[in-house]
Amino acid sequence: MALYKKERFVIPKGTYRNKQKDKTYIYQYTDHFRSNENGKAGHKSKVIGLLDEASGQLIPNDNYFELNSLEPRLFSEDVLSFGYTSLCNHVLTDLGVVKLLKKHFPGDVANRGSWPVRCIASATRPPP
């Protein structure tokens, strides 16, 4: 289960907290029911994330987005942390371009394959 450590949300209603050791887990109620045997009320719930002690907000996991019908936001720094070269080399490998370069150019493919990556990086880099 993925934990979105860069995300912070206000804790929704219909939740409760459960502190275990040094972490406080936030649970969201998913179902309420009464027991047939003795009529006691009960509930079902799922953990939707951790409490950020500093801000008092929720650090969500996948269940939070699933239960609340939301899409997780992707941050641009997550993509940029890999760098253009790594991303483009992965795409070129998946498309079979690296294999074709190896077939037709017996030398060092990494240097020949890096020129499109450099072109893409220089064209899409934001101005300073």
- Do residues 52 and 87 both lie within one domain? no
- Do residues 60 and 102 both lie within one domain? no
- Do residues 65 and 108 both lie within one domain? no
- Do residues 57 and 101 both lie within one domain? no
Residue range(s) defining the domain that contains residue 120: 77-124
Distance of alpha carbon 58 from alpha carbon 10, whole angstroms = 6
pTM flag (> 0.75): no
- Strands 41-52 and 23-34, by their bridges, are antiparallel
Q: Between vectors from CA 127 to CA 125 and to CA 128, what angle results, nearest 5°?
A: 115
Output the tens digit of pLDDT for each of the chain's 128 residues.
777 888 888 999 999 999 999 999 999 999 988 877 788 888 899 999 999 999 999 999 989 988 988 887 765 555 555 666 677 777 778 888 777 777 776 666 555 556 666 666 666 655 55
Q: Does 63 fall in a domain?
A: yes
Q: Does 111 fall in a domain?
A: yes
How many domains does the chain divide into? Answer: 2
- Do residues 21 and 66 both lie within one domain? yes
